[in-house]
Amino acid sequence: MPARTTETSLSPMPQPAVLTAREGAGLALVALLTIVPNTLPVAVLRGLVFERFDVSEFATSWFMSVNMIGAVLAAPFAGALADRLGRVRSLVVAAILLDALCFFALTLDVSFGTFMAIRFVEGCANITALSLVLAVAASGAPPGKRGRIMGMVGGGITLGVALGAPLGGILGRDDPQRPLVIGSAVLVTAAVLATFLVVEKGRAARRTSSGIGSLLAIIRERPALVVPLAFAFVDRFTVGFFTTTFSLFAKRIHDLDSAAIGGLLAMFLIPFSLLSYPFGRLSERRSRRAMMIGGSAIYGVGVMLVGAWPASSLGVLMLALGVASAVMFVPSLVMASEVAGDEARGAAMGGFNAAGSLGFIAGPLVGGAVSETVAASSGWEAGYTWAFVIAGLAELTVIALTWRPLSRLVRAGRTT
């Protein structure tokens, strides 16, 4: 009697053709325009949420976390869907248009609960689009050039984050809701471009399950996938401190306006984005393990110093952190693609986004909780100092926990 097929069984499909550099750049542009709106509100959080709804700083931090809850739930489903269908252009366009609608809805006169519910749906739509774009890139990138293709798309995502923060500060100087309106228009533009630029190169192998269950099944089959997912989690955990806790810290402690806050965030995020492609290419020839561990160690120590760093040279520290981030980001993204294999790259990209989104949920909440708790007894300066110490220690902890698994992957020839 034939063996019964499990829900994670695979059926072979034709190998997809490879992406060209121009097609990879097109995917990067779509990713950039899809992510820009997400950080437009960062520099105007106080006016957009704190003052508009008269809520606490902790509740304000939830604005940057609640959409990530939606992302954690949606990303594995989107990645598995890419593995199942292979051709996903229409889904990318639909997800971006839903994202645009949510951004506009955030400007309406609604209760705080409804406002946060819309933000949740927006997170589901945004991460679905990004996960599908990453899946197309990972599946179509030729093995010898995977670092540069993933570097392009990863750089597009981080450049979108980088541009959003300072632009949001400028746009929201007089009206904190203006970044939401502009963000909606940017997303409509991204949807139009996606119809032309999301180039699909055939179908990958299929999985008949989807969502978190599919991701957990893949992790059981490939436990080494936990390593790049752990780096994705902790890296986005620390970025969550910068997009929320840092904004509140810079205003309260250094009395910086929204434009100055956006400028400092740009000094961190722009080097991160612009260097993703060259470091992606470097990861094709050098040890990905060394880049991940070395970049994370420098980055972790630097993050620990943010709260106590002199305001006059804070920009220098932010630049250094941006460079260190670029060193470690693309190698971990490429490693996730390598460990997953051809038949599960979409799910791996969804998992990478889900792990990162989970970190982004935790980052602002932990930053807000630590700063408020310590501030109650020792003042806000101490509160923010300790918040960034915790963030940096988290980065160093993941190095210690993954050192041996990374070494085993290198010895087994599954990564460099």
Burial class of 2 by CB neighbour count within 10 A (0 to 12, 13 to 18, 19+): exposed
Check if the beta carbon of residue 190 is closer than 8 Å to that of residue 33.
yes
State residue 211's pLDDT score.
58
Task: Give the CB-side neighbour count of residue 197, counting CA atoms within 13 A.
Answer: 22
Q: Which residues contact 58 (CB under 8 A, 6 or more apart)?
A: 365, 368, 369, 372
Domain ranges of the chain: 15-411
State residue 26's pLDDT score.
93
- What does the DSSP assignment read for 254-321? H---HHHHHHHHHHHHHHHHHTHHHHHHHHTTS-HHHHHHHHHHHHHHHHHHGGGS-GGGHHHHHHHH
State residue 400's pLDDT score.
94
Q: Is the dihedral of CA 27, 334, 200, 213 positive or negative?
A: negative
d(CA 22, CA 152): 10
b (16+ CB within 10 A) / e for 288-322: bbebbbebbebbbebbbebbebeeeebbebbbbbb
Report residue 117 as tokens: 């519910």
State residue 10's pLDDT score.
42
pLDDT in tens, the chain (416 residues): 444 433 344 444 444 557 888 888 999 999 999 999 988 887 788 889 888 898 887 788 788 778 888 888 888 777 777 667 666 888 899 999 999 999 999 999 999 999 999 999 999 999 899 988 988 888 777 777 778 888 899 889 888 877 887 788 789 888 999 999 999 999 999 999 999 998 876 554 455 455 566 667 778 878 888 899 999 999 989 988 887 789 889 988 998 887 788 788 888 888 888 898 898 888 888 888 899 999 999 999 999 999 999 988 999 999 999 999 989 988 888 888 888 776 677 778 888 888 888 888 888 889 989 999 999 999 999 999 999 999 999 999 999 999 988 888 888 777 77
State residue 65's pLDDT score.
75
State residue 255's pLDDT score.
87
Check if the beta carbon of residue 188 is closer than 8 Å to that of residue 97.
yes
d(CA 373, CA 363): 15
- Tell me whether strands 206-207 and 10-11 are parallel, antiparallel or unpaired: antiparallel
Burial class of 113 by CB neighbour count within 10 A (0 to 12, 13 to 18, 19+): exposed
Check if the beta carbon of residue 144 is closer than 8 Å to that of residue 284.
yes
Check if the beta carbon of residue 249 is closer than 8 Å to that of residue 42.
no
Check if the beta carbon of residue 164 is closer than 8 Å to that of residue 1.
no
Which CATH homologous superfamily contains domain 15-411? MFS general substrate transporter like domains (1.20.1250.20)
Q: Could you tell me which of 267, 131, 315 has the C-alpha nearest to residue 211?
A: 131
d(CA 246, CA 43): 10
User: Residue with structure tokens 């739509």?
Assistant: 125
Task: Give the CB-side neighbour count of residue 166, counting CA atoms within 13 A.
Answer: 13
Q: CA dist 20 to 81, 150, 219, 372, 409, Å?
A: 23, 12, 30, 49, 29
Check if the beta carbon of residue 222 is closer than 8 Å to that of residue 339.
yes
State residue 28's pLDDT score.
93
d(CA 211, CA 213): 5
State residue 212's pLDDT score.
66
